[in-house]
Structure 1
Amino acid sequence: MIKINKIIIVLQLLILQSLISNGQIINISDKLTVTKLSENVYIHTCDKSNGIIYSDKGEAIIVSTPPSDEVTEELINWTTKQLNAKIIGYVIDRWHPDAMEGLDVVRKQGIKSYSYELTRTIAKEKGLPVPDIGFDPKLELKVGDKKIICHYFGPAHTSDGIVVWIPDEKVLFGGNEVRNYNGWVGNIADADIEKWPETIEKVKQEYGSAEIVIPGHGIHGGSELLDYTINLYKPNKWKEVLQNHSIKRLPVFNDFGDIFEIAEQDSINGNSRFLKEAIVFVDNDNRYIKVESPLIEHNVEGKSIKSEFGRLQIFEKSKGINNPTTDVYYKRLIINLRDDEVGIVIIMKEIL
């Protein structure tokens, strides 16, 4: 029994040691933390902005500078002393300050810097420090006996943002091209919203086997962050409908998948939402239904719409908004979406 207890204690200690060493957060200063993912990979974080350190056989490459010279110097010093590694390269993943603000410090330390060629062009145009060596669209760098791959796939958060792949670790640094769970759409001042999901689709095709994906901000995850980002920026199916009908943004503006609500006010009673001065769109295969009424009841769980009076229009998606196949005023309307071969039921008591 004593022997078994000793074995259990040893196993518990080994598990605890693994938890501490992998995912351990190290406070370098009040502004800089480092998270250990493995013996070779670390995330550095300052002001919620992430970058990575990759080391092997006494060499290291850092990706993305912290957003200040002071913290960049702290990061370089920590990597050199604590990892006992010579920094042989610094990768700049985009032109924004939270990726290259510390480039002057990198240069003073005599460390070579790399970036996508467009990043160098933008830096020159804006009078910013320019990374030493450019590539287009892909660069492989050796670190000890390992390698990292810097790869540009297209515009997203910025026109020049890259991802960095560590094949031996199955780690992908997505930078600001990839969003963390529950992350905002974020700063889109320099973004290409239309191309963003297409770019990440390409990243997924190439590096979808990643076991760890590190976003530019927030907590890291797995390859599901790629899908999350794609869906975050993918055009919503209601976008064209709302634009075509010149729908203005009202206080109630909710997407429930196959039902979209727009209203001046709403209230909730059980599973039902009561919408005042409302327009509701219902998606049904190759057509959509538009209901306008002073009061609409939307049962979310039952996927139903009820209204005492108002206007009902039915549009074939292929024919556009100028040719509704049905356009009537009604008394007593019930619309019910069904999960069977019928699909939808539209019942009216009276047509005016």
Structure 2
Amino acid sequence: MVRIKKGFLIILTSFSLLLLNISTPVSAKESKTKQTVITSKDGSVILTKIQKDVWVHTTYTEIDGFKIAANGLVLNNSKGIVLVDATWDDQLAKQLLEMIQKEFQKPVKLAIITHHKYDRIGGIQTLMDQKIKTVSTPEIAKMAKEFNYPMPEPSLDSVASTLKVGNLKIKTYFPGEAHTSDNITVWLPKYNLLFGDMIFALEQQNSGIIDEANMEAWPNTMKNLMYVYNDAKIVVPGHKTWGDFSLLQHTLDIVRKHEN
């Protein structure tokens, strides 16, 4: 983690407090898919099936002596695997790719990076070393360069893009500034599933790391998400336990509290 210098050393303690209570992820109530969980030998990488062809990858790193979890997505489709976010670092990304290959026996065809901070982009070099096409918006790519990461291909539109990989449609969206200035969401219309790192799990009771957050804009960003994705059935936050639409209102309530 040495290369993450900008704003990193001063936020370790608050990051630890934010994510100290780590619980085993569970699927949303709406999911009728029997949950399957695959864990690496050292427990640092977990794959959890929450819908047909939709898995959450959860990876752990240690900060200030605490194990901290971050979520991303693994999407299985007729053409291969789509990965959303690249884990904390290259070693975890390598483990994740090995687990994906063993479980699905398909190549990872595409990776989407949802913002520039290291819980999303830390393993990008491993993806690139394995010739996996890795994409983001121009804003995320620019910020990645500023933070000394390889730049993902800036091929996603700055506001909204629709990708079709095999039989799977994926939509990316910039709802406004929140946790970072460049954060985007991923929407799977087939499953009414929304993923985003500006969304909080129910057990998170504070705004967390706000070193790059736009606290003035964040409430409006959440209102925008609630309007655009009012039919969301499964909501996967960047950290901790996923759930349903109530996570959006919960996040709005938390960031509003911060304003007071």
TM-score interval, smaller chain: 0.7 to 0.9
Q: In the aligned structure 2, how far is the partner of 1:24 from the partner of 1:61?
A: 19
Alpha-carbon distance in structure 1 between the residues aligned to 2:116 and 2:34? 31
State how far apart, in whole Å, the 1-side matches of 2:106 and 2:172 are. Answer: 21
Whether 1:161 aligns to 2:183 is yes
Partner SS state of residue 141, structure 1: strand
Q: Bigger shift: 126-135 or 164-173?
A: 126-135
Alignment of 1:259-270 (within 5 A): none
Task: Please give the alpha-carbon distance, in whole angstroms, between the structure 2 residues aligned to 1:97 and 1:137.
Answer: 22
Shift of 1:126: 2.9
What residue is the counterpart of 2:17 in the other structure? none
Match of 1:213 among 225, 231, 235: 235
Q: Shift of residue 58 of structure 1?
A: 4.2
Mark the runs of 5 or more structure 1 residues left unpaired by the alignment.
1-18, 240-352
Equivalent of 2:137, from 104, 116, 119? 116
* Rounded Cα–Cα distance in structure 1 between residues aligned with 2:127 and 2:235: 25
- Per the TM alignment, residue 121 of structure 1 is displaced from its structure 2 partner at its CA by 1.0
Deviates more, 1:86-95 or 1:70-79: 70-79
Q: CA deviation at 1:170?
A: 1.0
Please give the secondary structure, in 2, of the residue aligned with 1:234: helix
Alignment partner of 2:136: what SS? strand
Residue 78 (structure 1) aligns with: 99
Kept after mapping to 2: 8 A contact 1:67/1:102: yes
The root-mean-square deviation of aligned C-alpha atoms, in Å, is 1.8
Q: Which has the larger share of strand?
A: 1
Q: Which residue of 1 aligns with 2:12?
A: none
Q: Unaligned 5+ residue runs, structure 2?
A: 1-30, 61-68
Amino acid corresponding to residue 126 of structure 1 in structure 2: F
Any residues of structure 2 matched to 1:16-35 within 5 Å, and which? 22-29=34-41, 30-35=43-48
Aligned to 2:168: 146
Is residue 120–residue 134 contact of structure 1 (8 Å, CA) maintained in 2? no
Higher relative contact order by CA 8 Å / sep ≥ 6: 1 or 2?
2
TM-score between the two structures when normalised by the length of structure 1: 0.59
Higher alpha-carbon Rg? 1
Aligned length: 219
Instruction: Report if the CA contact (8 A) 2:32-2:51 is conserved.
Output: no
Q: Which amino acid aligns with 2:173?
A: H
What's the TM-score once normalised by structure 2's chain length? 0.80
- Residue 173, structure 1, aligned to residue 186, structure 2: no
Contact 2:207 2:258 in 1 (8 A): no
Residue 132 of structure 2 aligns to a residue whose secondary structure is coil
Match of residue 203, structure 2, among 182, 187, 197? 182
SS in 1 for 2:51: coil
- Counterpart of 2:120 (choices 99, 109, 121) is 99
Distance 1:125 1:223, change over 3 A: same
